Every structure is written in structure tokens, then in C-alpha cells.
Amino acid sequence: MSILEMIQDQLSGAALGELGKAAGLGEREVKSVLPQAIALLTGGLARNASRADGAESLNRALETDHGGGILEGGVASMIGQALGANGDGILKHILGDRRLPAETVIGQSGGVDASAVSKLLPLLAPILMGALGKAKREQNLGAGDLAHILGQERQSADEALPRELNGLSRLLDTDGDGDPLDDVARMGMSFLNQALGRRKPGS
């Protein structure tokens, strides 16, 4: 079972509703942004792991903090552990200071307010890390293996998205400069500026 399949298996049925409650979203809203959110987070991890030091850092984090137990206690346990985990800290490593624009892009793509996405991502991040940790433990993966698998998972995440969103897991590297996160920032700020422009003066 791939990492994406593992996550999809966990985040189905009752889990979608519980995840939505924890993030302040309806089940339909969660469904509308979940693939994009997973694709973006997977792409961010893949990008970090493409560097030797990034792969080693990820490997150590999985060994010490994310062994996969979050996936093994049922829906209520998984959501509870996700709420108690340092999801914001994980996102800082994945997205850095581009988190707000990334949330805006994901929200815009699914018709959901970015503030709601900001509550969803910290729950998804430890679940994704748990899936990676479980794969590492069960398959005895090293840093190089993780980098390779994440590259494959990023491609699979892309292929699962609608055609118009294909490439989101590469974090929207539209200018080909090798730093796709700056494109997320630009695209996110564009959405923010459009929203501000639609507001009436004094509103």
C-alpha cells in the first residue's frame, strides 16, 4: 500500500466528518480541499527530501517522533493525536514562511476560506508524517529511500488531481526557477489582492 493509499484509507467515511469537526469544516468542504492539501504537503516534503540534509532530517524526525502510531487507534484516536501534535511545527518545516499563501491557494482551489484551511493543514501534517513513519518502520526505509518514495508519491498525488490542478504537488513552480515555494507566495498573494479588491471601501 502506498503512502497516499494509506492516508486515503484513513481519511474516509466517519474520519472525514471528524476531521471536518476538528477543523470547523463540513464534510463536503473537507472533500473539496483534501486532495489539494495532501498534494501540496507531499510536494513540500518531497522537495525538502530531495536534498541530502533534508532527507536525513526527515529520517530522524520519523525515527524519534512519527512512528505511525497515530494511524493505529481508530478515528477518534487519530484525530485526538493530530490535535495534540505539533502540526504547526511540521508545517513550518514543510512550507516555511509561505504557509499563508499556500493556504490561500488551497482554499481558492476548493472554494473554502483560507482561515478554515489553516485549521485543517495542522491536522493533516501529523497524519501524513505518521503514514511516512509507518512505511519507514514496516519497510525498513532509510533517508534515500524516503526521498525516492516521496518523489513517486508526489507524482501520484498530481495524477489524482483534476487536470486544471495538475502540478500542485510541485508547489506551483510556474517560473521554473527551482524554488516553487516563491510561486505559491505570488499566487497566494494574487488571490488575496483579488479578494481585497472586491471589498467595498470602508468594508
Q: HEC states along the chain?
A: CCHHHHHHHHCCCHHHHHHHHHHCCCHHHHHHHHHHHHHHHHHHHHHHHCCHHHHHHHHHHHHHCCCCHHHCCCHHHHHHHHHHCCHHHHHHHHHHHHHHHHHHHHHHHHCCCHHHHHHHHHHHHHHHHHHHHHHHHHHCCCHHHHHHHHHHHHHHHHHHCCHHHCCHHHCCCCCCCCCHHHHHHHHHHHHHHHHHHHCCCCC
Q: 103, 116, 119: which is closest to 29 by C-alpha? A: 116
Domain that holds residue 37: 3-197
Flag whether 49 is in a domain.
Answer: yes
- Average pLDDT value for residue range 113-121: 91
pLDDT of residue 59: 95
Flag whether 55 is in a domain.
Answer: yes
Neighbours of 163 (CB within 10 A): 7
Flag whether 62 is in a domain.
Answer: yes
Flag whether 203 is in a domain.
Answer: no
Flag whether 59 is in a domain.
Answer: yes
pLDDT of residue 186: 53
CA–centroid distance for 13 within its chain: 20
Flag whether 157 is in a domain.
Answer: yes
CB-side neighbour CA atoms (13 Å) of 21: 9
Taking the model in full, what pTM does it have? Answer: 0.80
- Average pLDDT value for residue range 67-88: 92
pLDDT of residue 153: 87
pLDDT of residue 166: 58
Domain count, the chain: 1
Flag whether 156 is in a domain.
Answer: yes
Q: What would the grid cell of residue 184 be?
A: 505559491
- Average pLDDT value for residue range 144-166: 80
Flag whether 202 is in a domain.
Answer: no
Torsion region of 201: left, alpha or beta (phi above 0 gives left; psi -120 to 50 gives alpha)? beta
- Average pLDDT value for residue range 102-120: 88
pLDDT of residue 169: 52
| Reported confidence tier of residue 101, pLDDT bands at 50, 70, 90 | confident
Angle (CA) 124-101-160 rounded to 5° is 50
CB 39 within 8 A of CB 4: no
39 has a pLDDT exceeding 60 = yes
